[in-house]
A = this chain, B = another copy of it.
Amino acid sequence: MRITQPRIAILTFLINRGEPTSIEQIHGHLAVGSCDLVTVYRCLAAFEGIGIVRRSFYHNGTSLYEINLGDTNRYHVVCKTTDRVVPIDPELTAELRQTIGKIEENLHAQGYTGVTHVAEFFGIAPAPNRGANVTVPTP
């Protein structure tokens, strides 16, 4: 896997962002003309393949990508109105992670390989929460 300008740009962006982000948004935030939309698709697929990014889904089925920091899974609520992504309460996240871990273990025990999962919450954020300093799109 070669280190190229577009890949550096995409990865840098994802690291700074630290949240599931749509391909369009990723592409939109890269310097104009620095990287084709198709290249973003291809790079993210490659990144997912080697495990440095994780893919999840928006409630309409389109893809979201985020940096994969080991198994420190994070879970989020995505606002259906604004697309803003807010992390779930840490304690509950820990609990969820634990339960999901058990399930994945159980599946491995049954002989499943390459087990992955997707867990997303969607809802309409209360107006005051919208635009919180959680997700400030990098200009």
Residues of chain A touching chain B, judged by Cβ–Cβ distance below 8 Å, are 57, 59, 61-63, 75, 77, 80, 88-89, 92, 95-96, 99-100, 102-104, 106-107, 110-126, 128-129
State A111–B64 Cα separation when bound (angstroms). 24
**Residue in B61, B111, B116 whose CB lies within 8 Å of A121:** B116
Closest to A125 in B: B112
* A62: min CB distance to chain B, Å: 7
Contact A118 B120 (CB under 8 A): yes
State A88–B111 Cα separation when bound (angstroms). 13
* A27: min CB distance to chain B, Å: 17
Query: For A117, what are the chain B residues with a Cβ–Cβ distance below 8 Å?
Result: 119-122
State A124–B57 Cα separation when bound (angstroms). 20
State A124–B81 Cα separation when bound (angstroms). 35
A-B contacts besides A96-B103, A110-B126, 14 pairs, CB < 8 Å: A57-B57, A57-B118, A77-B112, A88-B103, A96-B99, A99-B99, A111-B128, A112-B124, A112-B126, A114-B122, A118-B118, A118-B120, A119-B119, A119-B120
**Which are the 3 A-B pairs with shortest beta-carbon distances?**
A111-B126, A112-B123, A115-B123
Query: For A129, what are the chain B residues with a Cβ–Cβ distance below 8 Å?
Result: 110-112
Query: For A110, what are the chain B residues with a Cβ–Cβ distance below 8 Å?
Result: 126, 129
